[in-house]
Structure 1
Amino acid sequence: MDKIAAKAEAEGFLKSLLNRNLRVYTTDGRLFVGTFKCTDTHSNIVLSLTYEYRQPSQQKLAELAEAVAASAESGKGTVAADMPSRYLGLVVIPGPHIVKMEVEEFASQVKSRSIFERRDLYGSTAR
């Protein structure tokens, strides 16, 4: 693949992500969930309507470990650790701090997207 085709493919991929919900994991363990708006040449990304999630504190993890031990003794189910969150709104995440990005997609979105893809393939919608 030549350079021009690779650049066009990369641009097309980024355009397909516009206004989609992304999960962005950072080097300090935080998770940002928001709507992808843009990026730049330094791989910084801008998310809108963003929530930040943090790992539980060491004290909270120790308390949960005790709860797990107690539930194992009593034969009860599992214990879940909630990630503290806060609403941030519009954020810029520096590219060098991004570990992983995922597109957040629900089953209903996949189904509706496939209908649109079929419409685009065949030129019209069947009614």
Structure 2
Amino acid sequence: MEEAFESLSILKGSSQPPSDSAMAFNLPEDNSTPLVKQLRRLLFRRMLVGVNDGRFFMGSFHCIDKQGNIILQDAMEYRSTRRDCPSSMEQRCLGLILIPSSCRTSCHIDCAVEEQMSLLSLQN
């Protein structure tokens, strides 16, 4: 099954931040907004987040707050070691990290094409 990173429009500067209940696991889902339901479906999936200084972080999506800050578990940092050769990347293990929304430039989820289509739909 082919895998790809899906771009997440709900995490890119949405005019409305996610609700407090986005990460409350014990609340019934039928009381949630469509955005909260979609965010719940992203929990614990592998996410690739780019920041404005050129680095990328890959880890398991753990949560997002009202301000749009993202927390990744088991995160790895990837950065270019030379400006003239973007293919030479350095990586290091970071663990649990918080990525401020003000620094984030891109956000992608690793999933199959069928899952991408399902995640893009707010009905489910």
Name the TM tier (shorter chain).
0.5 to 0.7
Matched, 1:19 2:44: yes
Q: CA RMSD in A?
A: 2.6
Q: Which has the higher strand share?
A: 2
Cα offset for 1:104?
1.3
In structure 1, the residue matched to 2:95 is: 89
Q: Which has the larger radius of gyration?
A: 1
Cα offset for 1:34?
0.1
SS of 1:96's equivalent in the other structure is coil
Cα offset for 1:81?
2.0
Cα distance in 2, alignment partners of residues 104 and 19 from structure 1: 11
In structure 1, the residue matched to 2:56 is: 31
- Superimposed CA distance per residue, residues 38-63 of structure 1 (whole angstroms, 9 cap, x where no aligned partner): 010110010001000012223xx3xx
Give aligned pairs, total.
87
| Residue pairs, 1:1-127, within 5 angstroms | 8-58=33-83, 61=84, 81-105=87-111
- Superimposed CA distance per residue, residues 99-125 of structure 1 (whole angstroms, 9 cap, x where no aligned partner): 110001258x96xxx9xxxxxxxxxxx
Q: Which has the higher helix share?
A: 1
Residue segments in structure 1 that go unaligned for 5+ positions in a row: 65-79, 115-127
Name the TM-score, length of structure 2 as normaliser. Answer: 0.62
Name the TM-score, length of structure 1 as normaliser. Answer: 0.60
